[in-house]
Structure 1
Amino acid sequence: MIFASQQQGRFVQAVGRFESAVREQEPDRAEHAFQEMGRGYQDAGPQEVAQAAPRLAALLPEVPPGPRGTIAVLVGACVESGADPGPCAPHIFVELAETLAAAGEFAERWEETGGGDFPDPESGEVDPGVFERVGPEAALAWLTLPQWEMASVAMLSHPAVRIALDGSLRARLLRGVRAVAEASGHEFKCLTYALLVLDDEPLVVLHRPSGTGYRLRMSGIGDNFQLHTLLADLLVGGGHVPGRAPSPQEVAVCRDAPGQVHTVGSFNLVTPGGEWVWNEGTPTDIPVVDGVRLLVLDPPPYERGWPAGRFFPNMTGDLVLERVLAEEETRRLLAGCAPAK
């Protein structure tokens, strides 16, 4: 038992040595402690990761830019292992915002100095000329951005973090990642989609063939594939509209169960203006009409299948039917909707 206790304390001890080395600006000691942290994390128990995560997150501004993203990934790993993301997320998001800004500068300088294909930030191989061409700070921001994406998604997988995230900061992060993606051609889709996730969001759905309407509420839904399956469960599986109902397993993996399972679509998702709402998009693609997102369901024009599941495996999804709309209300809303284009 004493040996087990020593094993369990190794990670936190290494974190303490890393903190000390970073604050005393001793890179050799910091590198050695970092290696110890990597080994210690493998055996760390819940109490250790809970202690380590907020300490490492708070240390981020003092960690040199090169290894800073790696420490952020370690914080994300601790959160995925059960550490509280609340104290960690603000530090991650502040650093993410600064990294996105510097990555934007990288894109500008890259274009100004001849353009061409951007270096792959996930290849693990970096031409030293990249640093000379755009400057070390901008280059490091670009090259470590996938690490900040991983760490941020780990935070955003928790509803409390998403709800607490300041709206102006969320908008700033979205502008930053979209600008970098547009300039570079690299999607950073996971980060973008995680920032777009809605919580406690009302949704009105009109089923055009039956002339019925429903008010629902959604949380933690990463993409419209997931939304589609959950809609079919509530409306078809609930006996409200005809069609194919997904199996309990298909529904479970879209809520909180692990894995994926094949499913087939039940509807065609359409905006009130008649444009298709693609399954590949997110619920934010559904337009807001009179203060609430409004979606129209038409029969599927062709059979389409996909692996049912969650875009973010660590994010729990939820869709709740609050009430069936009155016939008059549904008729009025449908009258303002265009046919599918």
Structure 2
Amino acid sequence: MIFGNKRKEQRFLDAVVAFEAAVRSQDGERAQRAQRQLYRHFQDAAEHELTQAGPRLAALLPQVPPGPDGAVAVAVGACTERGADPAACAPHVLDGLARTLAAAERFCERWAATGGGEFPDPEQQPDAALFDRVGRETAVAWLTLHQWEMASVAMLNHAAVRTSLDAGTRTALFQALRSVEEASGHDFKCLAYALLVLDDEPLVVLHRPTGTGYALRMSGVGDTFQLHTLLADVLIGGGHVPGRAPSAEEAAVCRDQPGQVHTTGAFNLVTPAGDWVWNEGTPSDIPVVDGVRLLVLDPPPYERSWPAGRFFPHMTGDLVLERVLAPEEARRLLAGCVIKDA
């Protein structure tokens, strides 16, 4: 019985070994069979299998043909969500994302050049004429881009991956994604927001009603809804400004706890120029002034509520108060901020 259980636990890793051998020998039929076994045994895989499989499958991605590589990338992402090292997997996944985005950009260009029309739905079986119209490589890139989005977000959920991604690569990925979104009219919001996440990012916040200011640092905050709740927790919950503080549960789900909890907004977030910073956006929308992001908190013009939580459920978020600004510094910064009429 003991040996039987042990053997059963190895079935996923056995499928990985078979898939590696098939890919390296360029045996398409064997690779397909092994890939089916990967999916069949993934759910019951033991932790040690997943931790080994993630980096091994990731390392194979450059050798897997376009099309199947997207599904393998998703499997790598699933392994990281269950314990595989994202830092070991991410370089291969993000390289694959870059290749796929470049080919998807060419797809958009060829689609427009050959008559345009509504873009093919990646969730539907493609018409064979699609490949004749734009070429197989570019068509496959478009059809699998959503898979690369899932896999890449699974990598970017981890701070170690985000902080190791150089600014040039991140910018290039984001610009390529925006190009595809604009040309196709399709939304890849999860990937866009993941590429915009800030880590160890200084943030100066001015509370206009009290004339006070605060130097904070944020990491892993996926959208401004999440930041709004964390600001209320740190500043109101910390006794620095008046208002309704979020409950412990509301704050916790915005940091590292699962789920969502109803909350009510405490502020109106505005830029120094007086423009609203919408909760639906990301903290990257907050402008940089003299080298640091600067945000003004006004009273809310009306009551707004939403389910507090994390845009990325697997991404840990945090906001830390580093110091309270001296009154003179807060006054000087507020003097340069505009109040716009509603």
TM-score, normalised to structure 1, is 0.98
Aligned to 1:202: 202
CA distance in 2, matches of 1:234, 1:55: 42
Displacement, 1:11? 0.9
Per-residue CA deviation, residues 297-330 of structure 1 (Å, 9 max, x unaligned), is: 0000110111110000000000000111000000
- 1:146 and 2:149 aligned: no
Aligned to 1:32: 33
- The residue identity in structure 1 corresponding to 2:207 is H
Per-residue CA deviation, residues 41-94 of structure 1 (Å, 9 max, x unaligned), is: 121111101111111101001111111000000000000001101111000111
Aligned to 2:185: 185
Displacement, 1:124? 2.9
Displacement, 1:28? 1.1
SS at match of 1:203: strand
- 1:109 and 2:119 aligned: no
CA distance in 2, matches of 1:22, 1:44: 21
Judge conservation of contact 1:236–1:245 (CA < 8 Å) in 2. yes
SS at match of 1:321: strand
Spell out the pairing of 1:279-298 with structure 2 (5 A cutoff): 279-298=279-298
CA distance in 2, matches of 1:38, 1:187: 27
Per-residue CA deviation, residues 152-205 of structure 1 (Å, 9 max, x unaligned), is: 000000000000012111111001101000111111000000000000000000
Aligned to 2:171: 171
Judge conservation of contact 1:100–1:176 (CA < 8 Å) in 2. yes
Spell out the pairing of 1:153-302 with structure 2 (5 A cutoff): 153-302=153-302
The percent of aligned pairs where both chains have the same amino acid is 69
Instruction: Supply the RMSD in Å over aligned alpha carbons.
Output: 0.8
CA distance in 2, matches of 1:7, 1:72: 24
SS at match of 2:48: helix
CA distance in 2, matches of 1:14, 1:292: 50
Per-residue CA deviation, residues 221-245 of structure 1 (Å, 9 max, x unaligned), is: 0000000000001111111111111
- The residue identity in structure 2 corresponding to 1:300 is P
- The residue identity in structure 1 corresponding to 2:229 is T
Judge conservation of contact 1:269–1:297 (CA < 8 Å) in 2. yes
Aligned to 1:316: 316
Aligned to 2:51: 50
SS at match of 1:306: strand
- The residue identity in structure 2 corresponding to 1:206 is L
SS at match of 1:204: strand
Displacement, 1:26? 1.0
Structure 1 unaligned segments of length 5 or more: list them: none
Judge conservation of contact 1:276–1:340 (CA < 8 Å) in 2. no
CA distance in 1, matches of 2:26, 2:204: 56
CA distance in 2, matches of 1:155, 1:251: 24
Displacement, 1:105? 0.4
- 1:63 and 2:59 aligned: no
Which runs of structure 1 show a deviation greater than 6 angstroms over 4 or more consecutive aligned residues?
Answer: none
CA distance in 2, matches of 1:222, 1:340: 28
Judge conservation of contact 1:270–1:340 (CA < 8 Å) in 2. no
- The residue identity in structure 1 corresponding to 2:220 is G
Aligned to 2:13: 12
SS at match of 2:5: helix
Displacement, 1:131? 1.2
Per-residue CA deviation, residues 203-224 of structure 1 (Å, 9 max, x unaligned), is: 0000001100000000000000
- 1:329 and 2:329 aligned: yes
CA distance in 1, matches of 2:29, 2:290: 60
CA distance in 2, matches of 1:120, 1:266: 41
Displacement, 1:340? 3.5
CA distance in 1, matches of 2:96, 2:17: 22
